[in-house]
A and B are shown apart, each in its own frame.
Chain A
Amino acid sequence: MDIQKLKAEQKLLKAWSYDWHPIERGYNNRTLYINVGSNEVSEKPVSQEMKDKFVGGKGFGLRLLWDATTPDTKWDDPENEIIISPGPIGGITQYSGAGKSLLVSISPQTDSIMDSNVGGFFGPFMKFAGFDALELQGKADKDIIIYLDGVNHKVEIYDDPGFAVDSHILGEELTELFAEDEKDAKNIGIVSAGAAAENSLIGMLNFTFWDSKRKMVRLKQAGRGGIGTVFRNKNIKAIVARTSGVKGNLNNVANMDMITKVGRDYAGEMRDLDDKQNQMKKKGTANIVNVMADYDLLPTHNFKYGTHDDAPKIHSDFLRDKWFTLGINDACWIGCAMQCAKGADDFELRTGPYKGTKVIVDGPEYETAAGLGSNIGIFDYHPIIEANFYCDTYGICTITWGTIVAFIMECYENGVINKEITGGLELNFGNVEASLELLHQLARGEGFGKVAGTGVRQMKKLFIEEYGADADFLNDIGMENKGLEYSQYVSKESLAQQGGYAMTNKGPQHDEAWLIFMDMVNNQIPTFENKADALHWFPMFRTWFGLQGLCKIVWNDVTPEDNKFEEEPHKIPKHLRNYLAVYEGVTGNPLDEAGLIRQSERVYNFQRIFNIRRGYGLRKHDAQPYRAAGPVTVEEYESRAERYDGQMKDIIGIDPTGKTTEEKVAITRKYREEQYEKLLDAVYERRGWTNNGVPKIEHLKEIGMDLPELIEVIKPLQ
């Protein structure tokens, strides 16, 4: 494509200049508002109260979205927004994992509040350009490109003269267009979606980062909940941010020495310990594929099982030894020593519109390997990486897509749907060709692929209403909660993780609470009170990272040598102390663990009440599909009969001898469902909520979050 020709054809729709001023201790103290329908561009001040109550990142996103929408706003209404915010720590380069952006919007999948985090350059560059958040509202008549010029301090909106839709091409095109020369490419950060985001409810957003070694654009994903669909519904093709270079102390932090001291120490741990621990630098997050299989936690065949005879074929060693390029800086933000954004270079595509092309594929990460692999019965990295590439460039979430295809395959194998319904696709577990064709159909907006792009919740409804499917069966095996598909872990043997998934504000994503090993393997939290406490502090830690612009992986994917001597080693206390030092170093404000949790609690409760304001966020919305809690079918039970029979005898107190498998499935189910209800009781109490899951007014007062607009929502529900 001739970029210069397109540039000549591009029409400027709006230009807006602003006065730039340096960041003060992590904050610009203003946000940027763009209405793509009216082309209004303006800035909004950030008050001290907003910083005190909402901190930044996800907190800013939620506050702005609350103010911009009504309880009745739908995802495709012009007033719905996408807010991108990196947080006060976001953009520093002296401590690892500080380049995250948090996105918030009303989700096309859940009709409620979605948040998603992502690395890449855009968030920090937006902040260096002068803004703590970008608020996108309205709906353009036709495709536009937004340019945030942090060098000349202006915002421009252009029409789209015909750039590519798919992100791996669009990212290259726009980098070439907006960078002055190749050297300047590192100063460009882009947000874009792809063809499938336009034709589905599960669209995600790619955030680019420039790989200076490979001299090409790489992609990181804000995957969950369909924010890419909202983006394309607004007819935004891309947003581009440009900076004059990342150097020194752009955040103008309060005490750089505090940050560099712990930053160097952490980098030393990665240098000295990573190779004998997780090998994040060699395998990325996919290092746990084989670990999950070993502990019967790797989702297989739509979460029926936790391992498979063919699981060794997708051992993470294959990624390290065959697919990933090693010895290269794979940081998705500058200065990150974790470097887990692995890439498969010169990957030759076998299917689809780019068949025969050699590309770089970002990943697969763990969730992608499990979702596009074991969970749909594929145990071969080539098709997994191929599907990874297409999900990315088409702009859909690999986690969501994996769980969708797994659900379809189980329905297909059970006769709920057939070849006539799927348009000839034989969607059995393990069918590589059919699963990839389904993905290409989605990108083209045709066939059964388009049905798949509506997600598990919509498909359940369709299959029940149109094809006479058994509603109970589909509700048991359809792995969604609140309308969002489960991420890729088997939670059957961890009651705490069942809560960690189904009690999550946005839907079952592991980035809020991941307690499987603490619960199931380590048995550290045996009582309901223990589990409830873990389901308090763990999500608050993770929420805090999302307020600050920090990556959750850096916290605990390398462990200091002396961690074994700590009183609470599972919290990786040294890294927690690092974070408190980094926060104080940036903002100048001292913080302790209680203060950290308090910051998170305020935003977490706000998000819960935001859900309630929209008609969700109650106990009934925290219900889980039974597949997440126990064996739905006879074959599932019998595959682990020794385990389940033993539990029946030792824990439930019923002798399984002489009982049919159907009877044993029913007994196990009754027990596990009761346990989950007791867990909800305990967690709600620990969190200061009513038995219906509503935050209590006195709790909001206690945490300093008794805002009148929140009280108004929850008062009738006390």
Chain B
Amino acid sequence: MKITLNNRPETFESTSMTMGELMRIKNFTYKKIIVKVNNKIVEPHEYDSTILNENDIVVVLHLLAGG
């Protein structure tokens, strides 16, 4: 499956995955995060129920700006 993640093309072997699985694969562990799929905000409790599809545009904004 091909998606765009933070303006970069990403290819995964599986044909489908949830947003939660993507977060785990990419090891996105930081908590102050904004997630958008095709410009729609996805709340943390929706990660595991949000199915990603081919050519989806995913944005994961980490709001971290240093210690």
The answer to whether A277 and B31 touch across the interface, beta carbons within 8 angstroms, is yes
| Alpha-carbon gap, A516 to B30, bound state (A) | 14
Question: Which stretch from B12-20, B46-54, B56-64 is at the chain A interface?
Answer: B56-64
- Separation of A559 and B31 alpha carbons in the complex (Å): 11
Q: What distance in Å separates the Cβ of B44 from its nearest Cβ neighbour in chain A?
A: 9
In the complex, what's the smallest C-beta–C-beta distance from A274 to chain B, in angstroms? 11
Q: Is A521 an interface residue (CB 8 A)?
A: yes
**Residues in chain B near residue A489, CB distance under 8 A:** 66
Q: Which residue of B lies closest to A296 (CB)?
A: B27
| Residues B22-40 near A (CB distance < 8 A) | 27, 29-32, 34
Contact check: which of A276, A290, A565, A570 meets B29 at CB < 8 Å?
A290
Write the chain A residue with the least CB distance to B26.
A521
> Which of the 9-residue segments A178-186, A522-530, A614-622 touches chain B?
A522-530
A470 within 8 A of B: no
Chain B interface SS verdict (over half): loop
The answer to whether A569 and B8 have CB atoms under 8 Å apart is no
> Which listed residue (B7, B29, B62) contacts A517, Cβ 8 A?
B62
Residue A35 at the chain B interface, CB threshold 8 Å: no
A295 & B27 in contact (Cβ 8 Å cutoff): yes
Indicate if the CB atoms of A278 and B6 lie closer than 8 Å: no
Provide the residues of chain A in CB contact with B65, threshold 8 Å. 514, 517-518, 538, 555-556, 570
Structural contact, B63 and A521, CB atoms closer than 8 A:
no
| B contacts with A, residue count (CB < 8 A) | 18
Contact of B67 with A522 in the complex, beta carbons under 8 Å: no
Task: Tell whether A514 pairs with B66 under 8 Å between CB atoms, given A521-B6, A523-B7, A564-B34.
Answer: yes
Please judge, given known A-B contacts A278-B32, A521-B6, A526-B7, whether A288 and B61 are in contact too, CB under 8 Å: no
Q: Are B27 and A572 in contact (CB under 8 A)?
A: no
Q: Which of A546-596 contact B (CB under 8 A)?
A: 553, 555-556, 559, 563-565, 569-570, 572
Looking at the assembled complex, report how far the CB atom of A28 sits from the nearest CB atom of chain B, in whole angstroms.
Answer: 32
Q: Are B29 and A556 in contact (CB under 8 A)?
A: no
Contact A559 B32 (CB under 8 A): yes
Query: Of A277, A291, A365, A521, which is in contact with the most chain B CB atoms at under 10 Å from its CB?
Result: A521
- Would you call A570 and B61 a contact (CB within 8 A)? yes
Q: Is A310 an interface residue (CB 8 A)?
A: no
CB distance from B26 to the nearest CB of A (A): 9
In chain A, positions 241-299 with a C-beta closer than 8 Å to chain B are 276-278, 285-286, 288, 290-291, 294-295
Residues of A within 8 A of B32 (CB): 277-278, 559
For residue B6, which residues in chain A have a CB less than 8 angstroms away from its CB? 521-524
Residues in B neighbouring A553, C-beta threshold 8 A = 67
Query: Does the CB pair A517–B31 fall under 8 Å?
Result: no
Asked whether A367 is an interface residue with its Cβ less than 8 Å from the other chain, the reply is: yes
- Decide yes or no whether B1 CB sits under 8 A from chain A: no
The CB with the most chain A CB atoms within 10 A, among B6, B31, B66, is that of B66
Q: Is A366 engaged at the interface, CB distance under 8 Å to the other chain?
A: yes
Chain B residues within 8 Å of A522, by CB = 6, 60-62
Chain A residue nearest to B41 (CB atoms) is A564
Residues of A within 8 A of B30 (CB): 291, 294-295, 517
Contacts of B41 in A (CB 8 A): 564-565
* CB-based nearest B residue for A497: B66
| Chain B proximity mask over A502-532: 1 for CB below 8 Å, otherwise 0 | 0000000011001011100111101000000
How long is the Cα–Cα vector from A556 to B64 in the complex, in angstroms?
8
List residues of chain B with CB within 8 A of the CB of A290. Answer: 29
**Inter-chain contact count A-B, CB under 8 Å?**
66
The chain B residue sitting closest to A276, CB to CB, is B31
Q: Which residues of B contact A295 (CB under 8 A)?
A: 27, 30
Bound: A521/B7 CA distance, A:
10
User: Given A278-B31, A295-B27, A569-B34, is A285 in contact with B62 using a C-beta cutoff of 8 Å?
Assistant: no
Indicate if the CB atoms of B7 and A563 lie closer than 8 Å: no
Cα A516 to Cα B64 with chains together (Å): 9
Q: How far is the CB of A255 from chain B (nearest CB, A)?
A: 29
Contact with B along A196-222 (1 / 0, CB 8 A): 000000000000000000000000000
B64 contacts across to A, CB distance below 8 A: 288, 291, 517
Whether A563 contacts B67 by the Cβ 8 Å rule is no
| Cβ-defined contact, A291 with B29, below 8 A | yes
Give Cα distance in the complex from A538 to B64, angstroms.
Answer: 13
Complexed CA–CA distance, A523 and B41 (Å): 18
Q: In the docked arrangement, what's the CA distance between A538 and B66, Å?
A: 12
Residues of B within 8 A of A516 (CB): 66
User: Which chain A positions have C-beta within 8 A of B62?
Assistant: 517, 521-522
A442 to chain B, nearest CB (A): 25
In the bound assembly, the distance between CA atoms of A559 and B63 in angstroms comes to 8
Closest to A553 in B: B67
List residues of chain A with CB within 8 A of the CB of B61.
522, 524, 569-570
With A and B bound together, what is the CA distance between A556 and B32 in angstroms? 10
Measured CA separation A517–B60 after assembly (Å) = 11
Most buried by A among B41, B60, B61, B64: B64
Contact of A572 among B8, B63, B66 (CB under 8 A): B63
Contact of B8 among A366, A523, A555, A559 (CB under 8 A): A523
Q: Cβ of A288: which chain B residues have Cβ within 8 Å of it? A: 64, 67
A524-B4 Cα distance, complex, nearest whole Å: 13
Contact A294 B27 (CB under 8 A): yes
Q: How far is the CB of B64 from chain A (nearest CB, A)?
A: 5
Minimal beta-carbon separation of A562 from chain B (angstroms): 11
Chain B residue, CB-CB nearest to A286: B67
Per-residue CB contact flags for chain A residues 158-190 toward chain B (1 = under 8 Å, else 0) read 000000000000000000000000000000000
Please tell me which one of the listed residues B8, B29, B63, B67 contacts residue A365 in the complex, with CB atoms under 8 A apart: B67
Contacts of A538 in B (CB 8 A): 65
A511 to B31, CA, bound (A): 22
Smallest CB separation, A423 vs chain B (Å): 34
Closest residue to B60 on the A side, CB-wise? A522
Q: Which residues of B contact A523 (CB under 8 A)?
A: 6-8
CB-defined contacts of B7 to chain A, threshold 8 Å: 523, 526
CB nearest neighbor in A for B7: A523
**CA–CA, A564 to B41, complex, Å?**
8
- For the complex, give the distance between the alpha carbons of A553 and B6 in Å: 26
Asked whether, in the complex, the Cβ of A569 is within 8 Å of the Cβ of B63, the reply is: yes
* Cα-based distance from A291 to B29 in the complex (angstroms): 7
Residues of A near B27 (CB, < 8 A) are: 294-295
A-B contact pairs, 9 of them (CB 8 A): A286-B67, A288-B67, A517-B30, A517-B64, A517-B65, A556-B65, A565-B41, A570-B61, A570-B65
Instruction: Please list the 5 inter-chain residue pairs (A to B) with the smallest Cβ-Cβ separation, ordered nearest first.
Output: A514-B66, A366-B67, A285-B67, A523-B6, A517-B62
Known interface pairs A516-B66, A522-B62; 14 further A-B residue pairs with C-beta atoms within 8 A, sorted by A's residue number: A277-B32, A285-B67, A288-B67, A365-B67, A517-B30, A517-B62, A517-B65, A522-B6, A538-B65, A563-B34, A564-B34, A569-B61, A569-B63, A570-B65
